[in-house]
């Protein structure tokens, strides 16, 4: 653990990162719904502290229980099979496979009309970049535009679902009287960005690492172990920020109230004190104690769904294209800091 010149405390070990994520004395300490400014575009409840976080999470989490997620398996498998069938022999697997699978799943869950699915890509990529610190003024303006467009779209869709509810998640949430419109919009942001962008990265990072290590066939044999090692070795979320909500300590370091603490999830997942030979991609690691989905009250709401999508996607691709070869040694990455993912992944399928 070390402190930057700007006063930011950086946790790199598994011990300190896991302690930070579990400790209720550290949180976000913000007003993500902009209650003091009704014109301000909303953020997701990912950035809330209790009691608001607890209340909203309990309402949304009903749709992401293991039992509810397992009911989605047949549809996820059908979407996956359709996407793979449409891939050419020379394929770009981010736009052709890793991206459309989770976005189709989450938009169908929300009840977004099929003809509007494509519009989500621009919003999702822009809002994902807004998670990064030190945005340029150009990116900030772009983010604000995306938030406003997203808000206006869902306001109209929410009004429609309140009048004519369906069987989708948005219809169910729109009927919950305890949810304000701002909170419902915030939840939609969370489901789109956190529930989709990270899964795109999980699938693409998985294909890349399996191909690099000549282990693609393992995804067909033991998809659960494959997904867990990909999450540890190359996690979609690389870091997360917390603030000391009161005077506290992290390890032996004093953290006065207001101290920002950055948890480097990627570093913690390769801590040799917890993971022997941590830089080795090892599918025999059991049990995995990685922090890819976080810990504590902010443990990823969609972890079960992300795991299922990753397992189905990687297994199906391994069965359909066991001879897959990467077309480039160093594929390009997105410029994001918080979310680590490929911009493109060209491969030859066979």
Query: Is the confidence at residue 150, as pLDDT, over 80?
Result: yes
262: Cβ–Cβ under 8 A, 6 or more apart, which residues?
8, 9, 10, 11, 239, 240, 241
The rounded distance, in Å, linking the Cα atoms of 298 and 31 is 16
Q: State if pTM tops 0.85.
A: yes
Cα(199)–Cα(106) distance, integer angstroms: 11
Residue 63: pLDDT band with limits 50, 70, 90: confident
Residue 33, pLDDT score: 35
Q: In this structure, are strands 346-348 and 90-92 parallel, antiparallel, or unpaired?
A: antiparallel
Domain boundaries, the chain: 2-348
d(CA 91, CA 174): 40
pLDDT digits (tens, 9 = 90+) for 294-331: 999 889 888 999 999 999 999 999 999 999 999 999 99
Bond into 51 cis (ω within 30): yes
Q: How confident is the model at residue 118 (pLDDT cuts 50, 70, 90)?
A: confident
- Which residues share a beta bridge with 132? none
- Tens of pLDDT, residues 153-162: 889 999 999 8
Domain 2-348 sits in which CATH superfamily? Cytochrome P450 (1.10.630.10)
Q: Which of 110-114, 129-133, 278-282 has the lowest mean pLDDT?
A: 129-133
Pick the range with the lowest mean pLDDT from 182-196, 245-259, 320-334: 182-196
More confident residue, 159 or 36: 159
193 vs 201: CA distance, rounded Å: 12
CA angle 49, 53, 58 (to 5 degrees): 155
The rounded distance, in Å, linking the Cα atoms of 325 and 216 is 10
Share of the chain above pLDDT 90, in %: 54
Of all residues in the chain, the percent with pLDDT exceeding 70 is 89
């Amino acid at each position: 653990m070390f402190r930057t010149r700007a006063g930011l405390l950086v946790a790199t070990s598994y011990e300190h990162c896991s302690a930070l994520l579990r400790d209720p004395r550290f949180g976000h300490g913000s007003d993500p719904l902009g209650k003091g400014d009704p014109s301000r575009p909303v953020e997701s409840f990912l950035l809330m502290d209790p009691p608001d976080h607890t209340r909203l999470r309990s309402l949304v989490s009903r749709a992401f229980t293991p039992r509810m997620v397992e009911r989605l398996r047949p549809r996820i498998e059908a979407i996956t099979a359709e996407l793979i069938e449409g891939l050419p022999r020379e394929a770009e697997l981010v736009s052709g496979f890793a991206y459309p699978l989770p976005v189709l799943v989450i938009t169908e869950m929300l009840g977004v009309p099929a003809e509007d699915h494509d519009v989500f890509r621009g919003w999702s990529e822009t809002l994902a970049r807004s998670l990064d610190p030190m945005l340029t003024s150009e990116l900030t303006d772009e983010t604000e535009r995306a938030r406003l467009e997203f808000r206006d779209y869902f306001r109209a869709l929410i009004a429609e679902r309140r009048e004519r509810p369906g069987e989708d998640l948005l219809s169910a949430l729109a009927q919950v009287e305890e949810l304000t419109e701002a909170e419902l919009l915030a939840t939609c942001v969370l489901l789109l960005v956190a529930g989709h962008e990270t899964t795109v990265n999980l699938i693409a990072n998985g294909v890349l690492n399996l191909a690099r290590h000549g282990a693609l066939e393992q995804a067909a044999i033991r998809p659960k172990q494959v997904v867990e090692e990909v999450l540890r070795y190359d996690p979609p979320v690389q870091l997360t920020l917390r603030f000391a909500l009161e005077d506290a300590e992290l390890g032996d370091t004093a953290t006065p109230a207001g101290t920002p603490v950055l948890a480097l999830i990627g570093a913690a997942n390769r801590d040799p004190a917890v993971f022997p030979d941590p830089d080795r991609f090892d599918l025999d690691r059991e049990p995995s104690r990685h922090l890819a989905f976080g810990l504590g009250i902010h443990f990823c709401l969609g972890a079960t769904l992300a795991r299922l999508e990753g397992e189905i996607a990687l297994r199906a691709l391994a069965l359909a294209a066991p001879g897959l070869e990467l077309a480039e040694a160093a594929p390009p990455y997105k410029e994001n800091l918080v979310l680590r993912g490929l911009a493109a992944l060209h491969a030859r399928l066979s």
